[in-house]
Amino acid sequence: MTPEEGEPLTAQHLGKYALHLAATHRVEAYVGRGGWTWYTGSASWMYRVWIEEVLGLTVRGERLTVDPVLPSTWDRVSVNYRREKAVYEITIENPEGVERGVAWVEMDGRRLKDRVIPLEERLVKHRVRVRLGSGEEPAAGETFRRVAEDDN
């Protein structure tokens, strides 16, 4: 729904609620405003895309794998995954600025040789680190930082 010329904008035109926007306006008077917000199921599909395709979380039975596809400019992403009473605090590190490719996975300080996270349901909190890239560790005290290249 869009306003007719000269009509004031109403909440119906703003599209700023927890709905998936199908259109965002670029015309100067309406920049950033959205319309066509009531698409059945679109928010749930966007959620699935972010969880499964971008963050790369896949649950198969009692196993969780993390194989993200991220913008190379993202150096770290965190997500909490809950299964029954168990909580998995997952941090995806991208010190080399790659878009994909898991080097290693660590759970509670121990490397998982097959990069598969075993799931459980009891009351427990696990810390999971997923490292993208070649897997090289920084020297003691060194912090990886992606340096943006000069566009000039």
Q: Domains plus CATH for the chain?
A: 58-132 (2.60.420.10)
Q: Which residue has the higher pLDDT, 101 or 33?
A: 101
Please report the pLDDT score of residue 151 as a whole number.
Answer: 40
**Rounded Cα distance, 145 and 152, in Å:** 21
Q: Which residue has the higher pLDDT, 141 or 121?
A: 121
Q: Which residue has the higher pLDDT, 135 or 61?
A: 61
Indicate the pTM of the whole model.
0.65
Asked whether the predicted pLDDT for residue 54 surpasses 80, the reply is yes
Please report the pLDDT score of residue 45 as a whole number.
Answer: 78
User: Model confidence at 23, in pLDDT bands (50, 70, 90)?
Assistant: low
Please report the pLDDT score of residue 28 as a whole number.
Answer: 77
How many CA atoms are closer than 13 Å to the CA of 150, on its beta-carbon side? 1
